[in-house]
Amino acid sequence: MQVAVENVSKSSVKEEHYNVGLGAAYTNEGVHFLVWAPNPAQVELHITAPENRLIAMEDLGAGYYSAHVPRLRPGTQYFYRLDGGRDRPDPASRYQPEGVHGPSEVVAPVAVPRPRWNVPALRDYIIYELHVGTFTAEGTLDAIIPCLPRLQNLGITALELMPLAEFPGARNWGYDGVCPYAVHSSYGGPAALRRLVDACHARRMAVVLDVVYNHLGPEGNYLREFGPYFTDRYRTPWGDAINFDGAMSDPVRRYFIENALYWIRDCGVDALRLDAVHAIYDLSAYPFLQELQDAVQAVAREQRRRVYLIAESDLNDSRLIRPCKHGGLGLDAQWSDDFHHSLHTLLTREQAGYYADFGSTEHLAEALRQGWTYGGQYSTSRARRFGNSPSGLAAEQFVVCAQNHDQVGNRMRGERLCHLVDWERAKLAAAAVLLSPCTPLLFMGEEYADPAPFLYHVSHSDEALQRAVREGRRAEFCDFLDGSEPPDPHDECTFYRSKLNQHLAEQGRHARMQQMYAKLIAIRQSHPAFRCKTMCSQVRCYPGHEAVEYTLSGGPCRLHIVLNFGDRAFPREQEGEEQVLFRTSDHRWGEFEDQSSKAESGPVQPFSAVVFGFCSH
């Protein structure tokens, strides 16, 4: 169908296009469109609904094209037409109601009120990571809102959402997103995100969003047609790296920085979790991550609020979170994989893969002393020295967990910790995380030992891609196959098996587990020892016993925490004026209702934790 090309009035965007956001910006005067597309020779705006129109765009130079179209309203759907023939969604689309291949939609800006309360300081974050699609039966952002009272009563102060960017189909973890600015349509789109953010803020909970700046997914990824967003100078597990330091990389950096600012400024998000920053390759003198932090903090100052950037990295490189004045990149925190691996091996005795580097109480003790275990020592799994020293960094800069989406979902059968260990070990894991000096993270459902697995699931439309994913998944677990196949990631049943059973949180042993988590969080939030920013002092391991004891101090108050990973009692009892504040072996938290025979005094029981408290005043 031939569509006549219109010329619209030129705007002042040309002279100040770096001050105008990418994508479609609605105002009372119409809609401004701005796109960076140096690859095609011609770019036109193709409006497809409510009427069919083709509009010539103004070439601003440097690969930018703009148009200002009066009288357009929110709900208008459009593509960018490249070289007169290819209709492609807007790379900075805010909404893709028909999926990754369909038209983009103009969205009305909604002012997200700045919280009337002071967003928690990082040291007060207790993070709850969830996947929108499997957290509730409905699998939407709005469906999370009725669950917030339970999480608030638990003591959660920060809700972390796995990636929301539009991905192919209706089922995905979110790391195959290809429209980084668009909240996934099946989750409810951008309006639903704003409603959830408002609801969290009303309950004094911060919102953390997981964003992916190291790759885009394989289906619906049209960025290559617009410009040199990727480079073959570096390779990632997902193919070519994002072009953060090569020719024409400035607009690429701008694209991702504006994305971060969109989530924070326009959607009200309080922190970003940066996925796999070790796959962000950048040798420039002003690294992208540092520029990102500078831009984010400028907006935070403008809005008079706290905003944090939390990195995921497997490099154990303290430069990520050291201040710029000390040669670092200045990010606020990062995940500590070493803490998880140390804890996991002590609980499960698994030693395959990277778990070969762990297995003793000294590994966990080292993570408690400094934030991670490997700070330059030899790593068996890597066959080289690994990491550098994190000494001097604040405890809150290390995010620790016993479970997360990767460590559960990347197992062939998606087993949670409660599938791998008994009830006593599961309670010990909770105590180790929530009583550490670091920032704790819980994975959805762990607080009541939900029995649902968290399985890898996708819904690509391309059959060849579906086959490739299945074959790749099978190859990944070839050494672990026992006659059965990995669950099919494309099967709807795989997705539905991963849905939580939140009704269990109020029933029997699951309710008792949740009550124990709430008690641990209450201790953390009320005791002065957790106000201290430093790592643990006096971390001790005991020859002949698989126990770790460490001290947290806050003014005149001290906590002595003992974690016993052995199968026999550890002879540490209440000393002097100490009080026993908590025991995981308390019968109240038992797997079975009648567990009165469990010791509530005396030595530290096998696979249990005890908190001894002392105040001098």
Q: Tell whether omega for the bond before 571 is within 30 degrees of 0, i.e. cis.
A: no
Within its chain, how far is the Cα of 361 from the centroid?
28
Nearest residue to 411 via CA among 318, 491, 323, 473: 473
| C-beta separation of 607 from 548 below 8 A | no
Distance CA 270, CA 119 (A): 8
Strand 230-236 to 179-183 pairing: unpaired
- pLDDT score at 15: 35
Alpha-carbon gap, residue 578 to 331, rounded angstroms: 39
Pair 562, 549: CB distance under 8 Å: yes
Bridging pattern class, strands 23-27 and 333-335: unpaired
pLDDT in tens, 133-190: 999 999 999 999 999 999 999 999 999 999 999 999 999 999 999 999 999 999 999 9
User: Is the pLDDT assigned to residue 200 strictly greater than 90?
Assistant: yes
Q: Strands 77-82 and 104-105: what pairing?
A: antiparallel
Maximum mean pLDDT: which of 33-47, 463-477, 586-600:
33-47
Q: What is the pTM of this model?
A: 0.95
- For CA atoms 226, 227, 229, 232, give the dihedral sign: positive
Torsional sign, CA 412, 418, 424, 426: positive
Angle subtended at Cα 303 by Cα 297 and Cα 308, rounded to the nearest 5 degrees: 35
Quote the CA–CA distance of 510 and 516 in Å, as a whole number: 10
Supply the pLDDT for residue 113.
67
Strands 547-554 and 537-541, bridge-based pairing: antiparallel
Q: What is the pLDDT of residue 19?
A: 47
The vertex-282 CA angle with 278 and 285, nearest 5°, equals 130
What is the chain's mean pLDDT, rounded?
92
Q: Is 80 exceeded by the pLDDT of residue 21?
A: yes
**Is it the case that residue 101 has pLDDT exceeding 80?**
yes
Q: Given this model, what pLDDT does residue 11 score?
A: 43
SS3 324: helix
Query: What is d(CA 195, CA 189) in angstroms, rounded to the nearest whole number?
Result: 10
Residues with catalytic roles = 275, 312
List, in order of start, the domains of the chain with CATH numbers: 5-105 (2.60.40.10), 122-221+249-481+491-517 (3.20.20.80), 531-615 (2.60.40.1180)
pLDDT digits (tens, 9 = 90+) for 496-528: 999 999 999 999 999 999 999 999 999 999 999
90-104, 359-373, 391-405, 569-583: the lowest-pLDDT one? 569-583
What is the phi/psi pair of residue 544, to 5°? 85, -10
Q: 211-220, 371-380, 561-570, 591-600 — which is least confidently predicted? A: 591-600
* pLDDT over 90 percentage in the chain: 82
Q: What pLDDT was estimated at residue 245?
A: 97
Q: How far is CA 412 from CA 4, 211, 354, 393, 403, in A?
A: 54, 25, 16, 36, 15
Q: Is the pLDDT of residue 56 over 50?
A: yes
Tell me the C-alpha distance between 132 and 164, whole Å: 8
Share of the chain above pLDDT 70, in %: 93
Query: Distance between CA 580 and CA 583 in Å, rounded?
Result: 8
d(CA 64, CA 86): 18
Strand partners, 399: 335, 439
- Check: CB of residue 324 under 8 Å from CB of residue 286: no
pLDDT category of residue 119 using cuts at 50, 70 and 90: confident
Distances, alpha carbon 303 to alpha carbons 8, 22, 115, 429, in Å: 35, 21, 10, 38
